[in-house]
Amino acid sequence: MTQETPISGDTGTHDQEVEQLFDAAGLLGQAVPGFHPRQSQTEMAKAIADAIARQASLIAEAGTGTGKTFAYLVPSLLWGGKVIVSTGTKNLQDQLFLRDIPTVRKALSAPVSVALLKGRANYLCHFHLERTLQNGRLTSREDVGYLREISRFAKTSSTGDKAELSRVPETAPVWNLVTSTRDNCMGAECQYYQDCFVMKARREAQQADVVVVNHHLFFADVALKDTGIAELLPSANTIVFDEAHQLPETASLFFGETVSTAQVIELCRDVLAEGLAHARDGADWSKVTGQVDRAARDLRLTFSQDIVRLAVNQIAPSSPFFPALDKLLDELDDMIAVLQAQAERAETIEQCRVRAHELSTKIEAWKTASTAVSGEAAKDLDAVLWVEAFTSSLQLHKTPLSIAPIFAKQREGTPRAWIFTSATLAVKNDFHHYASQMGLWDAPARTWPSPFDYGNQGLLYVPTDLPQPNSPGYTDAVIDAALPMIEAAGGRTFLLCTTIRAVNRAAERLRAEFEARKLPFPLLVQGEAGRTELLDRFRSSGNAVLIGSQSFWEGVDVRGDALSLVIIDKLPFAPPDDPVLAARIEALERKGLNGFVHHQLPEAVITLKQGAGRLIRDEKDRGVLMICDPRLISKPYGRRIWQSLPPFKRTRVAADVHAFFSGQAQPIPVEEEESAQPD
């Protein structure tokens, strides 16, 4: 390692150095344009340096504008040893790797090497590119053009990272044909192994001092040992999770098990290609794969709805689902027998046999576990079994009721620092919910307030006379209340909805209203373009209205005048019929706890804090947060929710909002509203 300062066991040894570094005259102030000291940032950096020195865990909530990225990068780069930084998304990964870390490294003259590691689906695969070029299995002229671009990219790129090839959209279907999966990677047997972009990225990560990954990659590896982090973890001294509020959901996904009809159909595609290429005379490959493919598609068709999420015990015993599952297993067994007989003829056929066997084993295990669910043994299960159907595929899930014991076990063993940071980890300064979800029972938790003057910069407005959120015309009532505010704000609005159905209805209404009232506000709707494109158009237009659901509640940064009004249609409680949520609530209630108070409410608060965090992004921003849900005022838990939000001034009077936007005197906090709230 090329660290100037070794990891120290002494606590508090770096406080003075941190003070100097974050001082206006320090290295950051000299090297970073616009840098200015923030006490909360300095204090947070000290706490992280202390946790690194003690090889301890720390839960660190930093309000918007604290500068948490620099607060963890400075101590990590100087004293962290081998560091893994895990972020919420690939976009944040790229931002850290391309912008933030180079800025801090240069300012500190820190002699550390840095690597970026993504999941294998982000890297071009030479083997699958070659096979696709030979097979020509492309369905559109657009894909043919994209394939030509990718082929040229393969010859010139040093990383093979598809994010670098902007001319081919990341969502283009052709990428599935030229990247590998864990199932179809040839590994060391591949003729291109020495040139493999995935292996090159992993080698660089092993040698680097700082490795930037994302949460999906981190937990996929802990669960599947397939992303290269398994080799990194033993040598890591410091692990930093940014956007750590996302970890419980991501970890649940990967500590559970999922198998899908899409995997089976992809396997059939590969078996047909390899069978025809290497053992054409060995079997009627079209028939063998066709029967499995059909059985997989028939399993999906046992549910008539487009989108389905059902716990296994909610599926009627008379449903065609269970016979269709048996049929798929039978057809898979027949295909495995054929592959077994032909496996000697090519390594790729043997690989297909192994994949088919693994899929069959997973489906069989899920089926066996599902029979226990219907009986008394269900109460002893530490996981929930459920089915999720999409338009053209079906997934069988086994999700743990709690990841706490699993993740706590992962943290045992080699002493190292674990840092969990986000703007939203606490409920009214209480970290109990997050700590218990992650098994961080003994970890100290600290919060550093935002440096923003929320009392003067923002206003929380809860309109009067709205119906209950489960009323049939609720979204229309929200639009009726929102329209005057959107006009007062001059557009410049995010409308954040809790469901796609609400997004669509709101878009329909606003489109008609804007036209009828001749309002000049561009209307941008989630799904009509990619998230990045919509945000770029929103920023550049200066007076747009953007309607979005889940993906716009967090990780979105619009500074300045382009965004002045954030409207939230209703409190973001997860749907009570979600099978995982229902099972977790049931497990809590068996322990004598209240599922709503101990799980649904804190989850909703953390999500709401994320949505509210879109409004004020720097010291000069001003804006109104409009929460339309009357439960914020009428329900006993409402007080706990709004007290968890930034300390905006509050009002229920529309005229106060108009006054705010016209720059007139701001309203005082509504004390009578506060005193009416039950605790």
Residue 575 has pLDDT above 70, yes or no: yes
CB 72 within 8 A of CB 242: yes
pTM: 0.87
What's the rounded mean pLDDT across residues 426-435? Answer: 93
Closest CA to 232 of 264, 256, 190, 203: 203
DSSP letters of 137-171?
Answer: ---SHHHHHHHHHHHHHHHH-SS-BGGG-TTS-TT
The single residue listed with the structure tokens 């045992």 is: 412
Residue 433 has pLDDT above 80, yes or no: yes
Domain map (residue ranges) of the chain = 39-118+201-253+403-448, 120-197, 257-400, 454-675
- Bridge-based pairing state of the strands 83-87 and 238-241: parallel
Mean pLDDT, the chain, rounded, equals 89
What's the rounded mean pLDDT across residues 644-671? Answer: 79
Per-residue H/E/C for 465-505: CCCCCCCCCHHHHHHHHHHHHHHHHCCCEEEECCCHHHHHH
Residue 225 — very low, low, confident or very high, per pLDDT cuts 50/70/90?
low
- Residue 471, token pair as written in the block: 């009323």
- Residue 364, token pair as written in the block: 């069989």
pLDDT given at position 648: 95
pLDDT given at position 7: 40
- Bridge-based pairing state of the strands 545-548 and 493-496: parallel
Separation CA 79–CA 96 (nearest Å) = 18
Closest CA to 314 of 261, 256, 374: 374
Q: Which residue has the higher pLDDT, 215 or 576?
A: 215
pLDDT given at position 666: 47
What is the CATH architecture assignment of 257-400? Answer: Up-down Bundle (1.20)
Q: What is the three-class DSSP state of 173?
A: coil
What's the rounded mean pLDDT across residues 513-531? Answer: 92
The single residue listed with the structure tokens 């770096």 is: 14
pLDDT given at position 223: 64
pLDDT given at position 334: 96
Residue 673 has pLDDT above 90, yes or no: no
Residue 6 has pLDDT above 90, yes or no: no
pLDDT given at position 444: 96
Which superfamily does CATH assign the domain made up of 39-118+201-253+403-448 to?
P-loop containing nucleotide triphosphate hydrolases (3.40.50.300)
What's the rounded mean pLDDT across residues 619-647? Answer: 94
**183-192, 194-203, 398-407: range with lowest mean pLDDT:** 183-192
- Residue 539, token pair as written in the block: 């920023």
**37-51, 249-263, 286-300, 486-500: range with lowest mean pLDDT:** 249-263
pLDDT tens digits for range 15-32: 999 999 999 999 999 999
Residue 185 — φ and ψ, nearest 5°?
-75, 135
Closest CA to 417 of 82, 112, 110, 105: 82
pLDDT tens digits for range 130-158: 988 887 666 678 888 899 999 999 999 99
Residue 631 has pLDDT above 50, yes or no: yes
Residue 634 has pLDDT above 70, yes or no: yes
CB 607 within 8 A of CB 553: yes
Amino acid at site 618: D
Separation CA 343–CA 354 (nearest Å) = 10
Q: What is the three-class DSSP state of 216?
A: helix
Closest CA to 187 of 355, 363, 341: 355
What's the rounded mean pLDDT across residues 324-338? Answer: 96
CATH 2.60.40.420 applies to domain 454-675: no
pLDDT given at position 163: 86
If you ran DSSP here, which 8-state letter would residue 663 be given? T
For residue 124, the cross-strand partners are 179
* Segment (H or E) for 59: strand 57-62
Residue 378 — very low, low, confident or very high, per pLDDT cuts 50/70/90?
low
pLDDT tens digits for range 56-93: 999 999 999 999 999 999 999 999 999 999 998 888 89
**244-248, 417-421, 619-623, 660-664: range with lowest mean pLDDT:** 660-664
Residue 116 — φ and ψ, nearest 5°?
-110, 130
**117-131, 336-350, 371-385, 536-550: range with lowest mean pLDDT:** 371-385
What's the rounded mean pLDDT across residues 280-295? Answer: 95
pLDDT given at position 3: 32
pLDDT given at position 446: 96
Domains 39-118+201-253+403-448 and 454-675 share a fold: yes
Residue 670 has pLDDT above 50, yes or no: no
What's the rounded mean pLDDT across residues 213-237? Answer: 75
Could you give the percent of the chain with pLDDT greater than 70?
93
DSSP letters of 432-461?
Answer: HHHHHHHT-TT--EEEE--SS-HHHHEEEE
- Number of other residues whose CB lies within 10 A of the CB of residue 668: 10
Residue 672 has pLDDT above 50, yes or no: no
- Residue 56, token pair as written in the block: 């301890």
Could you give the percent of the chain with pLDDT greater than 90?
69
What CA–CA distances, in Å, run from 438 to 48, 56, 208? 19, 15, 28
CB 355 within 8 A of CB 393: no
Closest CA to 81 of 261, 248, 293, 237: 237
**130-134, 401-405, 438-442, 523-527: range with lowest mean pLDDT:** 130-134
Residue 367 has pLDDT above 90, yes or no: yes
HSE at residue 267, side-chain half, CA atoms within 13 A, is: 31
